[in-house]
Amino acid sequence: MSSNLPLFDLYRTMRRIRTFEEHVGELYVRGLSAGSMLHLSIGEEGAAAGVCAAMKPQDSFTTHHRGHGIFLARGAEPDRMMAEIGGKETGYCRGKGGSMHIADMALGHLGANAIVGGGIPHVVGAGLSYKRQKKDAVSVAFFGDGAMQQGILYESMNMAALWELPVLFVCINNQYGMGTRIDRATRSTAFDKRAEAFGLKAEMVDGEDVESVFQAAQGMMDAARAGQPGFMAVSCFRFYGHGRMDKSPYRSAEEEETGRKRDPVAHARAGLLARALATPEQLDALDAQIAREMSAAIDFTAASPAPPLTSMFRDVYGAGQPEPEPARSRIDRILARV
Amino acid sequence: MVEITYRDALRQALHDAMVADDSVVVIGEEVGLYGGAYGVTKDLIRQFGPERLIDTPISEPAIIGTAVGAAMTGLRPVAELMYVDFLGMTMDQVGNQAAKIRYMFGGQIGVPMVLRTQGGTGRSAGAQHSQSLEAWIMHTPGLRLAMPATAGDAYHLLRHSLTLPDPVVFIEHKSLYARKEEADLETPDAPWGKAVVRRRGEHVTIVTYSRMVHVALDAAKTLATRGIEAEVIDLRTLNPLDMATVIASVNRTGRAVALSEGVLTAGVSAELGARISEECFDYLEDPVLRIAGEDIPISVSQALEGSSIPTVDLVVESIEKMVR
């Protein structure tokens, strides 16, 4: 592995994701999180950091249930993210989207999706736009291994390959679709072969090693930019349950112990130290600074207001379009008849 | 005024929209070389090429999903779903994605796309190619819904749909494509979202849309020979739903019939009936009468198919009983 790779930056991104996720889990446990849905991506930081580092500012992407890390790696502000997850007015979507529907057009985030595979065809449409508009941009679909069993993925891969679109499909294989391990969901886990069958450039990468992910993603992004869409499966291990409160009764303590040894953050840290690219003191100071940043995001969220009730009827339709009539005014009008 | 078929009016609308706006693309099965299963996009590929008349594999969810993504990134796609019956396959992309993206994302972005499809009976196409699923669309906030009955509306509602900031489901009627009539392609009958009174009458108001407008008008003609004047309201769009025009009419006539080709239960006629009952209660001389499709799948047998939806005779007889 050559030493000119931005391993220090990749480490920082991964550490920020890890710490964000730990803090956002705390937000949830303290009852400051909106809703019952919170899916942490601890263990998957290598996939998020590695692929996003290979993306350019004009590129776009969609994510899935477990997309916090990807959005952070893309440059999202932790306070606005946490506020969105907390359902606050100051969040990226003014509190209406939450963890599973976060989006930001300024960063090319075309949306997280709470439907398994739901956002995948949107990158095909984005790729179509870019090709037609002759824009030098690639659209990347992030999804989990659960979506490998969804038909929409195959329709989308077929179209992207057929039309030679600037699109990259990234499967983050954390071994579990909710509580079902991948070997109980499919007979074949040779995901690259499935993609190759459609004419995509395909690769399998070990997500514990962020540098490998980054290098593979760079090659894939270059090819996609040139009209050869690709597919990457990044293998990793989901440290915790499906949702924050899921205690993973469907897997053994031994499996978790073994899986958690595949830790991309620890791996990158060890790599930095082994190659003398950083000192333990430098990394400890960085970690502490990140912890302060994430604590501040929690404070920001706690101090932020809830969206006003008047915003409830806003944005169902576009600007200038009539808003839906609230129930109370309809009922009052009907009951006030002559 | 020109004499034009409903089909040609739709093609003219697509043509004119594509000339006016370079970002308009048509995407769907057989829309290009074949010219559309019902011929609406015939020959457009000659003028606009395969870059804008995009033939797709038979992959309905991805067609709609691609249109959603394209609409979010600067194109104005017209996705064609060959039959409204295939909505079931695509309902995630239509109902969970296109309809909700603006709201979920706090107003950051909308999905300005048109989903063109056709529905209804009359071609003996069987249970999986003849449904009227507009109630599914009405039931989903975030989607606009247009259902033209005339060639003029086919043209103007489609042109207007392609200027809206939101996803529009545009349901054509398979039995209207060949219908030829005088149309004014310069000026619409009414603005988007406004209903039009197609016939004036004082005894009863028939509220309807799409092909049932013509059933209502034929029934009204017969009723007139028997001394009953029926007012016929063509809703034109079901979202927005112009209740003001409906209320004004029903308050004047005192009777309302909600007429729909879709099945009765939990259908559009049920919604119209409920709204009219709420809004016009003090003016109603009779309960709102729903005349709708039978609660059964559509048969291939033409005899059964034709009898399973409201007929002119049924409308005439029902209104005669109601008014007398």
CB atoms B75 and A103 under 8 Å: no
Task: Tell whether A134 is within 8 A of chain B (Cβ).
Answer: no
Give the pairing type, strands A230-235 and A167-173.
Answer: parallel
- The CA angle A331-A332-A333, to the nearest 5 degrees, is 90
Chain B 205-264, residues with CB within 8 Å of chain A CB atoms: 240
**Secondary structure of chain A in the HEC alphabet?**
CCCCCCHHHHHHHHHHHHHHHHHHHHHHHCCCCCCCCCCCCCCCHHHHHHHHHCCCCCCEEECCCCCHHHHHHCCCCHHHHHHHHCCCCCCCCCCCCCHHHCCEHHHCECCCCCCCCCCHHHHHHHHHHHHHCCCCCCEEEEEEHHHHHCHHHHHHHHHHHHCCCCEEEEEEECCEECCEEHHHHCCCCCHHHHHHHCCCEEEEEECCCHHHHHHHHHHHHHHHHCCCCEEEEEECCCCCCCCCCCCCCCCCHHHHHHHHCCCHHHHHHHHHHHCCCCCHHHHHHHHHHHHHHHHHHHHHHHHCCCCCHHHHHCCCCCCCCCCCCCHHHHHHHHHCCC
**Minimum distance, in Å, between the CA of residue A39 and any CA atom of chain B:** 18
- Which tokens sit at A196? 């190759």
CA-CA distance, A253 to A258, in Å (whole number)? Answer: 9
Specify burial of residue A135 (Cβ count, 10 A radius: 0-12, 13-18, 19+).
middle
Answer whether CATH 3.40.50.300 is correct for domain B196-323.
no
Any residues with CB less than 8 A from the CB of B52 and at least 6 apart, and which? B18, B24, B25, B26
Chain B 34-93, residues with CB within 8 Å of chain A CB atoms: 51, 54, 56-57, 59, 61-62, 64-75, 77, 92-93
Q: What is the pLDDT of residue A34?
A: 84
Name the one residue in this structure whose structure tokens are 């699109």.
A167
CA-CA distance, B247 to B224, in Å (whole number)? Answer: 22
CA dihedral B179, B182, B185, B191 (to 10 degrees): -90
- Calculate the alpha carbon distances from A280 to A199, A274, A283, A284, A287 in Å: 46, 11, 5, 6, 10
CB atoms A125 and B142 under 8 Å: no
What's the full length of chain A, in residues? 338
Q: What is the pLDDT along chain B (324 residues), one digit of tens a residue?
A: 999 999 999 999 999 999 999 999 999 999 999 999 999 999 999 999 999 999 999 999 999 999 999 999 999 999 999 999 999 999 999 999 999 999 999 999 999 999 999 999 999 999 999 999 999 999 999 999 999 999 999 999 999 999 999 999 999 999 999 999 999 999 999 999 999 999 999 999 999 999 999 999 999 999 999 999 999 999 999 999 999 999 999 999 999 999 999 999 999 999 999 999 999 999 999 999 999 999 999 999 999 999 999 999 999 999 999 998
Cβ A160 vs Cβ A124: under 8 Å: yes
**A192 pLDDT higher than 60:** yes
Query: Which residues of B does the annotation mark as catalytic?
Result: 60, 129
Chain B 104-133, residues with CB within 8 Å of chain A CB atoms: 104-110, 112
CB atoms A122 and B57 under 8 Å: no
Q: What is the pLDDT of residue A1?
A: 41
Task: Report pLDDT digits (tens) over A22-50.
Answer: 999 998 988 888 877 899 999 999 999 99
Mean pLDDT value across residues A132-143 = 98
- What does DSSP assign to residue B288? P
From the list B25, B59, B103, the residue facing A155 with the nearest CB is B59
From the list B75, B93, B104, the residue facing A132 with the nearest CB is B75
Task: Report pLDDT digits (tens) over A197-209.
Answer: 999 999 999 999 9
- What does DSSP assign to residue B210? T
User: Which residues in chain B have their CB less than 8 angstroms from residue A159's CB?
Assistant: 56-57, 59, 62, 66
In the sheet that A139-144 helps form, which strands lie side by side, from edge to edge?
A60-62, A139-144, A167-173, A230-235, A201-206
**Minimum distance, in Å, between the CA of residue A121 and any CA atom of chain B:** 5
CB atoms A93 and B56 under 8 Å: no
**Minimum distance, in Å, between the CA of residue B260 and any CA atom of chain A:** 24
pLDDT category of residue A191 using cuts at 50, 70 and 90: very high
Task: Tell whether B278 is within 8 A of chain A (Cβ).
Answer: yes
Any residues with CB less than 8 A from the CB of B142 and at least 6 apart, and which? A316, A317, B98, B99, B100, B102, B103, B166, B167
Provide φ and ψ at A192, rounded to 5°.
-60, -35
**Minimum distance, in Å, between the CA of residue B53 and any CA atom of chain A:** 12
CA-CA distance, B1 to A80, in Å (whole number)? Answer: 56
CB atoms A122 and B59 under 8 Å: no
Rg (CA), chain A: 21
CB atoms A317 and B70 under 8 Å: no
Specify burial of residue A180 (Cβ count, 10 A radius: 0-12, 13-18, 19+).
middle
In sequence order, what are the beta bridge partners of B79?
A: B27, B115
User: Which residues in chain A have their CB less than 8 angstroms from residue B109's CB?
Assistant: 103, 105
CA-CA distance, A175 to A188, in Å (whole number)? Answer: 13
Q: What is the pLDDT of residue A338?
A: 58
Closest CA to A269 of A208, A224, A315: A208
State chain B's maximal CA–CA distance in angstroms.
60
Helix (H) or strand (E) holding B11: helix B6-20
- Topology annotation, domain A7-337: Rossmann fold (3.40.50)
Helix (H) or strand (E) holding B316: helix B312-323
Question: What are the structural domain ranges in chain B?
Answer: 2-183, 196-323
- Topology annotation, domain B2-183: Rossmann fold (3.40.50)
Choose the mutation target among A316, A325, A331, A333 for the interface with B, i.e. most B CBs under 10 Å: A316
Helix (H) or strand (E) holding B12: helix B6-20
Q: What is the pLDDT of residue A33?
A: 87
Question: What are the structural domain ranges in chain A?
Answer: 7-337
Using CA coordinates, name the residue in chain B closest to A138: B73
CB atoms A159 and B56 under 8 Å: yes
Q: What is the pLDDT of residue A32?
A: 86
Cβ A205 vs Cβ A46: under 8 Å: no
Up-side HSE of residue B218: CA atoms within 13 Å toward CB?
A: 11
Chain A 273-302, residues with CB within 8 Å of chain B CB atoms: none
From the list B59, B102, B107, the residue facing A159 with the nearest CB is B59
From the list B51, B57, B112, the residue facing A159 with the nearest CB is B57
Q: How many CB pairs under 8 A join A and B?
A: 153
Choose the mutation target among A59, A85, A132 for the interface with B, i.e. most B CBs under 10 Å: A132
Q: What is the pLDDT of residue A275?
A: 95
- What does DSSP assign to residue B282? G
Helix (H) or strand (E) holding B10: helix B6-20
